[in-house]
Amino acid sequence: MRFRRAKSEPKIAWWKKILLVVLLLALPLLAASPRHMTARMVADSENGTKVMILNYHKIDDMNISLSVPPEDFDKQMKYLYDHGYHTISPDDLYNSLEGNAELPENPVLITFDDGYRDNYENAYPILQKYGFKGTIFVITSFLGVYPNYITWGMAREMDANGISIESHTVDHKSMTDLTDEQLRSELVDSKRKAEEELGHEVDYMAYPTGTYNLHIAQLVKEAGYKAAFTIKYGNVDKASNIYALERVPIFQTEQTNKDFVERIRYIPLFERFGWVKS
Ligand SMILES: [Zn+2]
């Protein structure tokens, strides 16, 4: 047969033996290197610090995926606290992306969409317990109207105590279904209403249901917002589109807290292998 071995096996050259020994000794180092490389790549990224933006909705005991039970939310905040994360505001994020300010180590922006009353009753005391900042994107026409949502009084109280109140449009319509005129009024009127109620500028918004396109993003910019948040999965850095910032949605699952830790720990790997950003 053509592929038969030679009759006599040649002796393994001495240098090959040495190479084998060196390789065996180096194996533990090789196995450990991907983790080290990832950490270094994240820290040295030419696009600056990676910022994790968590996205919650309800913090209560309802058995739906949008509801994270208060007990679990507390554990998640404790995890962040114990692992040296530092909460930041949308302004902190914006200023760092613009190159005008440095972020603390392990920065995290904790956001809530819609403005549910449980954010005030359940999430706010837990955030305060850890000295954490938060951000709530409110549907401006719902506040003070529907009992399930915070009031402007609650919004003002939280706004004065480390919780940024931002826009989630006037009435939460899917923006890709609206005319330009409707889009402008959703963006401009919600901004104006929140500014009147809070007594200061409101510079950030989150797209209802996360749906947006580049045309809508342009209208967001024209309405005077500095940045906008999507539900595109990933971390934010200087390569991100400031009007389409990535977030990490946190849901209730069969194993909420285990999933939470996996979600936040594996983002750098997801990004590195191109599984998130195209
Ligand atoms: Zn929403």
Residue 33 lies in a domain: no
What does the alpha-carbon distance between residue 77 and residue 83 come to, in Å, rounded to a whole number? 10
Residue 172 lies in a domain: yes
Residues in the chain: 278
Residue 112 lies in a domain: yes
* Alpha-helical runs (H) found in the chain: 14-44, 70-82, 90-97, 117-118, 124-129, 152-159, 180-198, 214-222, 256-272
C-alpha of residue 37 to centroid of ligand 1, in Å: 37
C-alpha of residue 139 to centroid of ligand 1, in Å: 8
Average pLDDT of the chain is 86
C-alpha of residue 113 to centroid of ligand 1, in Å: 5
C-alpha of residue 57 to centroid of ligand 1, in Å: 8
% of the chain surpassing 90 pLDDT: 69
Q: Residue 227: beta bridge partners?
A: 204
Q: Is 71 within 8 Å of 92 (Cβ atoms)? A: no
What does the alpha-carbon distance between residue 140 and residue 193 come to, in Å, rounded to a whole number? 7
C-alpha of residue 137 to centroid of ligand 1, in Å: 8
Tally of domains in the chain:
1
pLDDT value at 44 more than 50: no
C-alpha of residue 172 to centroid of ligand 1, in Å: 6
Residue 21 lies in a domain: no
C-alpha of residue 99 to centroid of ligand 1, in Å: 30
The Cα diameter of the chain in Å comes to 92
Owning domain of residue 141: 48-272
Contacts of 243 (CB under 8 A, 6+ apart): 212, 217, 218, 220, 221, 225, 227, 228
C-alpha of residue 210 to centroid of ligand 1, in Å: 8
Q: List the CATH number of the domain containing 117.
A: 3.20.20.370
C-alpha of residue 2 to centroid of ligand 1, in Å: 69
Q: Which residue has the higher pLDDT, 61 or 27?
A: 61
C-alpha of residue 43 to centroid of ligand 1, in Å: 32
Residue 240 lies in a domain: yes
Instruction: Locate 228 and state its tokens.
Output: 């906008």
C-alpha of residue 112 to centroid of ligand 1, in Å: 9
- Express each pLDDT in 88-116 by its tens digit: 999 999 999 999 999 999 999 999 999 99
- Express each pLDDT in 195-254 by its tens digit: 999 999 999 999 999 899 999 999 999 999 999 999 999 999 999 999 999 999 998 887
Residue 208 lies in a domain: yes
- Express each pLDDT in 143-157 by its tens digit: 999 999 999 999 999
C-alpha of residue 236 to centroid of ligand 1, in Å: 20
C-alpha of residue 209 to centroid of ligand 1, in Å: 5
pLDDT of residue 48: 83
- Express each pLDDT in 230-240 by its tens digit: 999 999 999 99
C-alpha of residue 21 to centroid of ligand 1, in Å: 59
Residue 20 lies in a domain: no
Residue 13 lies in a domain: no
